[in-house]
Amino acid sequence: SGCDNVVLIWNVGTALELYRLEGLHPDLIYSVSWSRDGARFCTACKDKSVRVIDPRRGTVVAEKERAHEGARPMRAIFLADGKIFTTGFSRMSERQLALWDMENLEEPMGLQELDSSNGALLPFYDPDTNVVYVCGKGDSSIRYFEITEEPPYIHFLNTFTSKEPQRGMGWMPKRGLDVSKCEIARWARGH
């Protein structure tokens, strides 16, 4: 997706455009995340809506308007069980996490407010452990949450804190972990 509100799906082997999805988003697309089976993807848009899209049909399967009330950027990612995890802001500019059931987007399954910092939260999901890592631009911490099937669904695990704020984050593939030290994730933080 780009600033033109269009989602393009490419065949990377042939460098040909497979699908061009126009007219589904009225504003800037903040994030795109594929479902584990590759049948759908979800998007977070500047109009505060989370959309679940079937790319082969070019249609919106489900939509939640105003998933987060705040005007600041939000993100949405698919989890392994088909649920959607979002980060965003409340009307009072408090950072929030929410868990949504794709079959019923009326109310979130779980909603947590974190703090009132102004950096957008970036979620990273590990389907092997069902842990979501939440990093904020300008923060000096990475928080981790386990997602479960029982209420309250979003369980805080721990926080990694450093002295310097991060400007960007990325995580190493699992093959780069040192399992003899019980590592489950390794991060690269840009300062």
Omega before residue 152 within 30° of 0, cis: yes
User: Which domains, from first to last, does the chain contain?
Assistant: 29-165 (2.130.10.10)
pLDDT of residue 1: 76
pLDDT of residue 55: 95
Task: Give the count of beta carbons closer than 10 Å to the beta carbon of residue 88.
Answer: 26
3-state SS, residue 139: coil
Query: Residue 115: which pLDDT band, with cuts at 50, 70 and 90?
Result: very high
pLDDT of residue 121: 94
Inter-residue contact 98 to 83 (CB < 8 Å): no
Average pLDDT of the residues in 157-181: 91
Query: Residue 167: which pLDDT band, with cuts at 50, 70 and 90?
Result: confident
Inter-residue contact 67 to 99 (CB < 8 Å): no
